[in-house]
Chain A
């Protein structure tokens, strides 16, 4: 089970967040507060820094400047306290191609310290939720992109994270897949989510806040 939150307060707090790649700024002066149990949708054109923002929140990238606090932990100094509390769904499925879907999920469960019996139950439950029970023993390399995305969603929520960071969660999913995934990563009471998307029609109506990033422009929260 996830540990209790470090401190009371917002799930995410950003003040003047900046990230540069060499001389090129990818994010400039992003300010934001997101409460626990709410959803944020991040919009913006290609190259606006959406994925960079998500990777900073996931502790996979260091900010170049500004203050970042996630689940009460200040980044980057307290990044280690956040590990295991975040569910991250990125562009890459983070699955080993030569292992089966089930083997990948077992590997993840062991990394997160789950007991074997408990992990098996959770894996079967998730595979059932995304309609992958019968394909779970096939090597990931042999699965379609949509099937990999379903598995990746299982990996993302396997450890029951407190915060979901989702980069284009619908990519490669068919209509059925999107509906099934919604149960696991869609808006729900108490679920804190940050969703990066190019599909505002689908995600903005469900969001509590919207962050618009522009290239060379200040971020706007609405």
Chain B
């Protein structure tokens, strides 16, 4: 068997190289998010948001932008025979799951690197909450990447892939979004960040990550069977 670390690095590098070369996912995700912020800005007719409204606008936008990337996560494997190539290789198939989660984490991180500062410029009077927000973003991204990779691998063989991913992923991500918005709300509160129940929400996020990470790792092998 090939060491899992070698196979993981090979698959991740291949995915990132392909994305850098074709820019099929990231620009679309970023453009969607920025456009949504513009729509919120004019739709709400507010130049400043705080608390639960700011938190809701941020996470609803990031979640729907993430769906665009999740939809395409396994397309090259499906359309170019990558699943067969990986199933023939002497590797633990769960490595593919781990590598795709890591690739999605990189996409989400890059998306947020561009869009969160734009969100702050559009809506926030005070950027003091952005520092601790990084922890919330990391934990939420991890959960979204684990769930998204799992759903995407199931949906990729369906002709209704574009419909199936949001239909299954969005209900599954409700607990994640409740915790993410709950943790973000006090950070973006009017008058500066507070840490009311911040730790509790972080623990909920961590628990979600753990559950879906383990479920994905455990069932992924079976999902690759014919």
Using a CB–CB cutoff of 8 Å, the interface residues on chain A facing chain B are: 58-62, 83-84, 86, 88, 90, 92-99, 103, 107-108, 110-113, 139, 155
Contacts and interface: CB of A to CB of B under 8 A. Distances in A.
A98 B2 contact: no
Interface of A is mostly: loop
A194 to B, nearest CB: 15
Interface of B: 1-3, 6-7, 9-11, 14, 17-18, 21-22, 76, 80-82, 84-91, 225-226
Contacts of B14: 96, 99, 103, 107
Contacts of A98: 17-18, 21-22, 76
Nearest to A93: B81
Interface of B is mostly: helix
Given A94-B82, A94-B85, A113 B226 contact: no
A111 B17 contact: no
Given A108-B85, A113-B90, A95 B6 contact: no
B80 A61 contact: no
Contacts of A155: 85
B84 A103 contact: no
Given A94-B85, A110-B10, A113-B6, 14 more contacts: A83-B91, A84-B88, A88-B88, A92-B80, A92-B81, A98-B17, A98-B18, A99-B14, A103-B14, A107-B10, A111-B10, A112-B90, A113-B2, A113-B3
B98 to A, nearest CB: 14
